[in-house]
Amino acid sequence: MGNEPFEEILMGNEAIVRAMVETGTKVVTSYPGSPTPEIATAINSIPEEKRPFYFEFSVNEKVASEVAFGAAVNGNLSCVFFKSVGLNVALDTVVQFSLMNIIGGLVIVVGDDPGANSSQNEQDNRNIYHMARLTVFEPASPKEAYIYYKHAAEFAKKEQTAAVLRLTTHVCHAREKIGFGALNPPPLFRNDFNRDNGPYIALTSMALEMKAGAIQKLKQAKLFARTKGLNTILSSDKNQDLGIITSGLTYLSVLDVLETTQTCPDILKLGMINPLDEEILIDFLSSHKQVLILEELDNILELQIKSLAFDNGINTSIIGKVDDDDFIGEYTPDKTLKKLAATWPDLVSTPANDEDALFDVPARPAQMCPGCGHRSAFFAIKKALSASDITVADIGCHTLGFMPPYNMGEILMCMGASTGMASGLSLENSKRVVAFLGDSTFFHAGLPGIINAVFNRHDVTLIVMENGTTAMTGHQDNAGECISIEALLKGLGIEQVVTCDTYSQERLTDLVRQSLAHKGLSVVIASHPCMLKFTRAQRKKTGYIQKHISIDQETCTRTHACVEQFGCPSFIRNKDGRVDINLDLCIGDGSCRPSCPEQAVGFDREEK
């Protein structure tokens, strides 16, 4: 990263890191989650000694927000970033931010995920910013993500507050050529915390006084948006009757669709979506006969704009969401085209049959990687369970245990919820209840459920799926690197805590049986390093030779236990029943070998 201005094609997530450096951001914190983890990858690509700010992965989004806040009230411009549902975890803290005098300024980058591409829901966090009285900047492209981060930082510093940079999946992941600014020498770390900069204790009447301050800062936000020209009108001058109000990526979808039309409605693009600038909206509404509001997910803009029109006696016809489908999924150009065609058939023609546009691509379900320790764990644990046992999943790579052939994990909620749900299910229940939990999730939100089970003596067997990393989101570090989960659980007074490598499948089956027989909370730590991370590291070493598994075709009786019970994607079952190994996938770990009753699965000749 040079000091001079330059141009480069970068992802939105990467461009934000340059903006952090250019604005003199001093402290950055996060808990990983799509669509934002590449922000951390870009940060980590700067060697620590050259990085002009402090960065940490905190144990969860709430703690990450608190660390960034602490640094910001000490006078340092700070940033916290996480995914959509991360805001749920952080909310108890984040909802207080607008009440505080954050002297250094704080930027909260949240990646929403319309389409639930990599999330357990597609919640629209714009609902929350209104309640939390937070100013929200919404870029439409990677270039704008870079520019709007700088706006958010400037505003947060100026008003001594927190501001949100709202991203969505494709703004994070798209790539665009961006012109970057010059770097000034990084500011020094500040230690300016002083209670007189507060009040910082929001209790009783102070909370109300502080709320009045939050309302004032939102008014300043509207002025800031005007000075920066964040809410802009794109006018073709040909069609003054029709207008569109939109924001974020949907704006680009609208441009895409309207590229082919003869006339183009005027477009009001909102770059600041909370608070809304009533003045520009009233002007726009009053000067058009019909206005279509195009927004992904909920009808947040629509409800506010309709109420604004009502209060101001504006008769413009305002069209928002019409059917349930309008609330679901991404506003891709296809979907936007359909919506525009349904609203203004004379302007945009109805798209040809959908089927024509689809490629016939076979579905490719998510699955665990070859050699994944979780697969060995599920294979072994299944042998210890009976059909009546209830299995409760948690979020992580191990969630995939719900799929065939393992079929373990019949209910899933959110990170860390498995032990609590299992406790509830175990009450007055003759069925045994087994919960699963990943190691990163253990520290993130898993511990309170475990402590609750100890405290209230719930009869649950918990299996901690320990792989030494936060695998699902791209191998980020977690607290398990320096804190022993086994020691921690023993310290909580849990009597039955055992650890087993998941490749020792017979032993793991035995330990799960023993733990199920134990009354109260019992824990099995099913441990094996993430093999994707491990093999990647191995391949970087010189002289590394890839091992493979081979099948002795003379011994193989074609029972297919390897395919049907172990289910590693490296096995290929041919039409004639013969099983082969896909050498591009197989990592030669051998964890599949115990699955063959005939012992026909061995290592390839080279390794014997």
51 binds ligand TPP (CB under 6 A): no
For residues 152 and 158, what is the distance between their CA atoms, to the nearest angstrom? 10
For residues 371 and 535, what is the distance between their CA atoms, to the nearest angstrom? 10
Q: Which is nearer to ligand TPP, 314 or 472 (CB)?
A: 472
End-to-end C-alpha distance for the chain, whole angstroms: 48
**Stretch of residues binding ligand TPP (CB under 6 A), selected from 62-70, 82-90, 304-312, 451-459:** 82-90
For residues 150 and 145, what is the distance between their CA atoms, to the nearest angstrom? 9
Provide the token pair at 207: 């909370």
418 binds ligand TPP (CB under 6 A): no
Give the one residue of 273, 285, 465, 600 binding ligand TPP; rule: CB under 6 A: 465
371 binds ligand TPP (CB under 6 A): no
Q: Which is nearer to ligand TPP, 35 or 594 (CB)?
A: 35
Give the one residue of 470, 515, 527, 565 binding ligand TPP; rule: CB under 6 A: 470
Q: Helix, strand or coil for residue 240?
A: strand
Give the one residue of 273, 471, 581, 601 binding ligand TPP; rule: CB under 6 A: 471
39 binds ligand TPP (CB under 6 A): no
**Stretch of residues binding ligand TPP (CB under 6 A), selected from 242-250, 259-267, 463-471, 593-601:** 463-471
Beta bridge partners, 246, equal 269, 294
502 binds ligand TPP (CB under 6 A): no
381 binds ligand TPP (CB under 6 A): no
**Stretch of residues binding ligand TPP (CB under 6 A), selected from 31-39, 41-49, 265-273, 420-428:** 31-39
In this chain, which residue has its C-beta nearest to ligand TPP?
Answer: 438
**Over 98-134, what HEC string results?**
HHCCCCCCEEEEEEECCCCCCCCCCCCCHHHHHHHCC
Residue 234 dihedral angles phi and psi, to the nearest 5°:
-105, 115
Q: How many CB atoms lie within 10 A of CB 370?
A: 24
Question: 380 with 408: CB under 8 angstroms?
Answer: no
104 binds ligand TPP (CB under 6 A): no
For residues 440 and 57, what is the distance between their CA atoms, to the nearest angstrom? 11
CB of 37 to ligand TPP, least distance (A): 9
For residues 584 and 108, what is the distance between their CA atoms, to the nearest angstrom? 41
512 binds ligand TPP (CB under 6 A): no
For residues 342 and 334, what is the distance between their CA atoms, to the nearest angstrom? 12
59 binds ligand TPP (CB under 6 A): no
Q: Which is nearer to ligand TPP, 86 or 104 (CB)?
A: 86
253 binds ligand TPP (CB under 6 A): no
- Dihedral sign for Cα atoms in the order 581, 583, 584, 585: positive
CB of 366 to ligand TPP, least distance (A): 12
What is the footprint of ligand TPP within residues 419-438 (CB under 6 A)?
Answer: 438
CB of 549 to ligand TPP, least distance (A): 23
Backbone angle region of 2, left / alpha / beta, with phi > 0 → left and psi within -120 to 50 → alpha? beta
Q: Which is nearer to ligand TPP, 18 or 475 (CB)?
A: 475
Give the one residue of 32, 35, 111, 271 binding ligand TPP; rule: CB under 6 A: 32
Q: How many CB atoms lie within 10 A of CB 114?
A: 23
Size of the chain, expressed as the number of residues it contains: 608
**Stretch of residues binding ligand TPP (CB under 6 A), selected from 84-92, 137-145, 310-318, 584-592:** 84-92
What is the footprint of ligand TPP within residues 111-150 (CB under 6 A)?
Answer: 120
Q: How many residues sit close enough to ligand TPP to count as binding (CB under 6 A)?
A: 24
11 binds ligand TPP (CB under 6 A): no
**Stretch of residues binding ligand TPP (CB under 6 A), selected from 30-38, 361-369, 385-393, 590-598:** 30-38
77 binds ligand TPP (CB under 6 A): no
Provide the token pair at 180: 């970057």
Provide the token pair at 133: 């009285």
Query: At 258, which helix (H) or strand (E)?
Result: helix 248-258
For residues 382 and 258, what is the distance between their CA atoms, to the nearest angstrom? 55
Q: Which is nearer to ligand TPP, 397 or 508 (CB)?
A: 397
Give the one residue of 40, 85, 433, 460 binding ligand TPP; rule: CB under 6 A: 85
CB of 396 to ligand TPP, least distance (A): 3
86 binds ligand TPP (CB under 6 A): yes
Question: 152 with 69: CB under 8 angstroms?
Answer: no
Contacts of 360 (CB under 8 A, 6+ apart): none
Give the one residue of 51, 83, 166, 222 binding ligand TPP; rule: CB under 6 A: 83
CB of 35 to ligand TPP, least distance (A): 10
Give the one residue of 24, 33, 271, 588 binding ligand TPP; rule: CB under 6 A: 33
For residues 470 and 32, what is the distance between their CA atoms, to the nearest angstrom? 8
Residue 411 dihedral angles phi and psi, to the nearest 5°:
-150, 140
Question: 468 with 480: CB under 8 angstroms?
Answer: yes
68 binds ligand TPP (CB under 6 A): no
* Residue 25 exposed, middle or buried by CB count within 10 Å (0-12, 13-18, 19+): buried
Which residues of the chain form contacts with ligand TPP (CB under 6 A)? Answer: 31-33, 83, 85-86, 89, 120, 395-398, 415, 438-441, 465, 467, 469-473
